[in-house]
Amino acid sequence: MAKNDAPTKIEDLLRPDNFDFSTVQVLNEEGKVVNEDLLPDLSDEELVQLMKDMVWSRELFERSTALNRQGRLGFYAPTSGQEASQMGSIAAMTKDDFILPGYRDIPQLVKHGLPLHKAFLWSKGHVEGNNYPEDLHAYPPQIIIGAQYVQAAGVAMGIKKNKRNAVAVTWTGDGGSSQGDFYEGINFAGAFKLPAVFYIQNNGWAISTPRELQSAAPTLAQKAVAAGIPGIQVDGMDILAVYAVSKAAREYAVAGNGPVLIETLCYRYGAHSLSGDDPKRYQPEGVQEEWRAKDPLIRYGKYLVEKGLWSVEQEEAYLEEVKEDIKNEIMKADTTPKQKVSDFLKSMYETPDYVTQEQIEIFEAKENN
């Protein structure tokens, strides 16, 4: 996968005329540092927190899958395998940044400040899942593939006009990079030098379509060239590489240089969603095992163990905390009052017209019986 022959200086990667799209890597698959120059300057506590974030995300996947099968969650898109890509990218952002997630980006949304029970309610299709805290700079997850790219460009324009020290951040998959919204978003942001960081989480499969049939481009990062902005391909199973590139990209965009496109090479161990597809029917035999050897938690865990910052005991203790928290949050979601038809009608207009008001009264009468 990663050849570790990308430019070793961040300033070289962040040039619109950089045409070297070799994969950026900090840790190899054995957890050894292979690029000291890009090793982020993080405290021991911050290094451990990155591991905790990935452990939390993996357990959230496991529990969400079980809840879906129990009928307690609705739509859910698996994230297992993409923890380094998702947690490394959001960790490099600040609470002032505005994030625009896709439907697979629930972990980033929660880490940015969305209460977990709200995320569960969104999966259930409950309107309260879209009722965000006023200080949370985020939109609800976008279901339309790639649409968040155009929205991110618009948000970034607002950030620039308001002279805020922030960026708009969004993610899509390899399939999303084939959408028209993808190019329109990066092109508009590049033309106006807007503060945005765009991610393509290349997990190899757009539902059942393999990456090689999505585009003839050797890399997806090089699609940035047409928009005149920097494009960087990073090992998405290496959280330190994702974090380092993301932090630099944010600083570049905030400084007024314009947007950055980052392709993270990763993999989803599960299906595209839990709504029916079976990856065994369209993925070659053995591909899962190949990527399991690159597991982001195992790789980073080896690095932290070597530094004396992590252990099996610490992970097991933290997992118990995570399980208890998830249990409490799903209980909050389960006990949220069910939606009423009258509530939907009341939210249609600020002042209901005669027909709508009549319908509200009819349904309220039924609901109160």
Q: How far apart are CA 18 and CA 9, in angstroms?
A: 12
Taking CA atoms, 199 is separated from 87, 179, 190, 236, 336, in Å, by 13, 14, 15, 11, 34
- As a whole number of Å, the end-to-end CA separation of the chain is 62
The 3-state DSSP class for residue 88 equals helix
Contact 54, 35 (CB under 8 A): no
Tell me if residue 137 is catalytic. no
- How far apart (Å, rounded) are the C-alpha atoms in residues 363 and 34? 65
Distance between CA 246 and CA 240 in Å, rounded?
A: 10
- Catalytic residue, from 15, 69, 282, 349: name it: 282
Strand, helix or coil at 357? helix
Distance CA 298, CA 292 (A): 9
Q: Is 126 a catalytic site residue? A: no
- Could you give the C-alpha distances from 161 to 40, 154, 168, 286, in angstroms and in order? 31, 11, 13, 50
- Look up residue 177 and give its amino acid: S
Catalytic residue among 104, 117, 137, 268: 268
63 is catalytic: no
From 272, 299, 300, 303, the catalytic residue: 272
The count of residues in the chain is 369
> What positions carry a catalytic annotation?
268, 272, 282
